Amino acid sequence: MKKRIVITGLGVVAPNGVGISDFTEAIKSGKSGIRFFQELQDLNFSCCIGGIPVISEELKSRYFTPLQLRNFNSSGILYGCIAGMDAWKDAGFAIDADSELDFDSGTIFGTGTSGVDKFREAIYQLDAKNVKRLGSTVVVQTMASGISAYLGGILGLGNQVTTNSSACTTGTEAILMGYDRIKAGNAKRMLVGSCSDGGPYIWGGFDAMRVMTYKHNDSPEKGSRPMSATASGFVPGSGSGALVLESLESAEERGATIYAEILGGAVNSGGQRNGGTLTAPNPVAVQHCITSAIKNAGIKAEDIDAINGHLTATSKDSLEIENWAAALGRKGKDFPYVNSLKSMVGHCLAAAGSIESVAAVLQLKEGFLFPNTNCEDVDPTILVIIDEEKIPNQLLNIELNIIAKASFGFGDVNGCVIFKKYNNN
């Protein structure tokens, strides 16, 4: 019998909601997490808006010891630990510094860059010839695998503990890597997800590339406009999403709550051929990734009820819709529902795939489709391909069975995962 993999825990730290209950509320009501940041304007950014989760000192102290917080300056690790620990507790596990080492549980928790603010501090010290003043905290906060190292220790994980990195595909890729590991019988449970720092030092390069919008500094909540005719670039975000994946056998043994099932998926690369570049996707590979995911999941294209898109609010959105339509062989009114969480939280970069997957899983569990905000003026080139009713701008309370979630990243890399509502037969 085919081994089934289910999701038994969720955690999220998003610009519009921290914790599963606030986040669910936020995405149902279309709440925006995008704000104006004076710091960005002072630094001469063209885009002065972004999404940064709101974390109080009190909240921090519930997840970290005073010693852990001493000289701590890595927002990605902060978000990742909160999301990861929440997911772990949500799955029914205790967090105990003296817990027995668990060789059956591991983590694959991705990021793009780690601790960019900490790294900046360190560089100032180094250039002032004060290398000794770096202390013991720079390496663990700036190494790419910092987040998995923190989580591995906090939770006492004895299986694989590692960090993946594939730009904006990172979170979706982490889910599939964890899925594969359980499927192969190498672990019973994997905490998967991703995190991204926020702020000028992570966003600056994108501002320089002119891929972020500069037109909404006076109207931050209107800035992120996926699939809109007036989309003018993405709005940067940050945060973390985390999921506990588990073999169905293990979940049933523990009597765990099951959020949804993962049927399969695919990752690939366009090799920067056929129009693909370091920064643009090869459409052939995008379509190949989607069709491979469908095949791997053992479903048919017509089984997909909704798409949770990558859809960043750049000129590439209509190309993405075109790719979905071609890969699925579905268009017009036959196209699945499609939504993009980025309209509310911006593009959370390495964290995008995991935060958006948490949203997709919540939709399956609770039976709703979150609204596309800022999309009252759908891009006419998209409407040539699909019917407007497939891009809801109001909350829909609807039972969904299968959601396809895809992410695409710099380096011409793609990931697509197929989530299904759980039923026990």
Indicate the residue among 138 and 364 with the shorter CB distance to another protein: 138
Return the closest-CA partner of residue 239 out of 76, 48, 361, 406. 76
Measured CA to CA, the distance from residue 327 to residue 324 in angstroms comes to 5
Residues 69-108 close enough to bind another protein by CB under 8 A: 70-71
Residues 128-157 close enough to bind another protein by CB under 8 A: 132-133, 135-137
Indicate the residue among 34 and 122 with the shorter CB distance to another protein: 122
Measured CA to CA, the distance from residue 255 to residue 83 in angstroms comes to 22
Token pair listed for 194: 């991703």
Indicate the residue among 45 and 64 with the shorter CB distance to another protein: 64
Position of tokens 């036959």?
A: 334
Residues 304-333 close enough to bind another protein by CB under 8 A: none
| Shortest reach from residue 113's CB to another protein, in Å | 22
| Shortest reach from residue 129's CB to another protein, in Å | 13
| Shortest reach from residue 103's CB to another protein, in Å | 24
Indicate the residue among 130 and 274 with the shorter CB distance to another protein: 130
Indicate the residue among 121 and 221 with the shorter CB distance to another protein: 121
Token pair listed for 41: 């304007």
Eight-class DSSP state of 124:
H
Indicate the residue among 119 and 410 with the shorter CB distance to another protein: 119
The rounded radius of gyration (Å) of the Cα atoms in the chain is: 20
Eight-class DSSP state of 279:
S
| Shortest reach from residue 68's CB to another protein, in Å | 10
Count the residues of the shown chain that bind another protein, applying the rule CB under 8 A.
9
Eight-class DSSP state of 223:
S
* Secondary structure of residue 323 in the 3-state scheme: helix
Beta-ladder partners of 195? 111, 240
Indicate the residue among 130 and 315 with the shorter CB distance to another protein: 130
Measured CA to CA, the distance from residue 359 to residue 370 in angstroms comes to 8
| Shortest reach from residue 130's CB to another protein, in Å | 10
| Shortest reach from residue 97's CB to another protein, in Å | 10
Indicate the residue among 135 and 332 with the shorter CB distance to another protein: 135
C-alpha distances in Å from residue 20, one per residue of 209, 241, 420: 34, 10, 19
Write the DSSP assignment of 161-201 as a string of letters: EE---BTBTHHHHHHHHHHHHHHTTS-SEEEEEEEE--SHH
| Shortest reach from residue 132's CB to another protein, in Å | 7
Indicate the residue among 70 and 295 with the shorter CB distance to another protein: 70
Cα torsion for 208, 213, 215, 221, to the nearest 10°?
-140
Amino acid at 401: N
Residues 201-220 close enough to bind another protein by CB under 8 A: none
| Shortest reach from residue 135's CB to another protein, in Å | 5
Residues 35-74 close enough to bind another protein by CB under 8 A: 66-67, 70-71
| Shortest reach from residue 387's CB to another protein, in Å | 59
Eight-class DSSP state of 133:
G
> Of all helices (H) and strands (E), which one includes residue 67?
helix 66-69
| Shortest reach from residue 123's CB to another protein, in Å | 18
Return the closest-CA partner of residue 360 out of 147, 172, 177, 182. 172
Tell whether residue 273 is a contact of another protein (CB under 8 A): no
Task: Yes or no: say if 202 and 253 are a contact pair by the CB < 8 Å rule.
Answer: no
- Within 10 angstroms of residue 389's Cβ, the number of other Cβ atoms is 10
Return the closest-CA partner of residue 266 out of 246, 243, 295, 245. 295
Indicate the residue among 137 and 269 with the shorter CB distance to another protein: 137
The residues that touch another protein, with contacts defined as CB under 8 A, are: 66-67, 70-71, 132-133, 135-137
